[in-house]
């Protein structure tokens, strides 16, 4: 029988923009008019998360980082291949 020890995780200060950049569904960063993409510029993670009412650092942000990173990477690869 394996014995596992569990220890509390103490959180220190964490910083995030929690939004800031508007993006398309392909993670292209939009210009100040919020409709025109900036050619060749993609964003992912909390820099383009949008407004959140509560700040949760954990699964919500990690899943957004992984998902938006995949989309941004694929979109950037298609852009470079053109």
Mean pLDDT by 10 residues, the chain (82 residues): 69 62 94 95 87 64 89 97 94
What Å distances lie between residue 29 and 42, 55, 58, CA to CA? Answer: 5, 23, 24
pLDDT at 36: 97
Q: For 3, phi and psi rounded to 5 degrees?
A: -105, 125
The model's pTM is 0.72
Question: 57-67: string of b/e by CB count within 10 Å (b at 16+)?
Answer: eeeebeebeee
């Amino acid at each position: 029988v394996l014995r596992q020890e569990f220890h509390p995780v103490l959180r220190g200060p964490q910083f995030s923009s929690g939004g800031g950049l508007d993006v398309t569904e392909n993670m292209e960063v939009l210009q100040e008019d919020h409709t025109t993409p900036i050619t060749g510029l993609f964003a992912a993670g909390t820099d383009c998360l949008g407004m959140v009412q509560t700040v949760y650092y954990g699964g919500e942000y990690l899943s957004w980082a992984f998902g938006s990173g995949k989309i941004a990477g694929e979109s950037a690869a298609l852009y470079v291949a053109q």
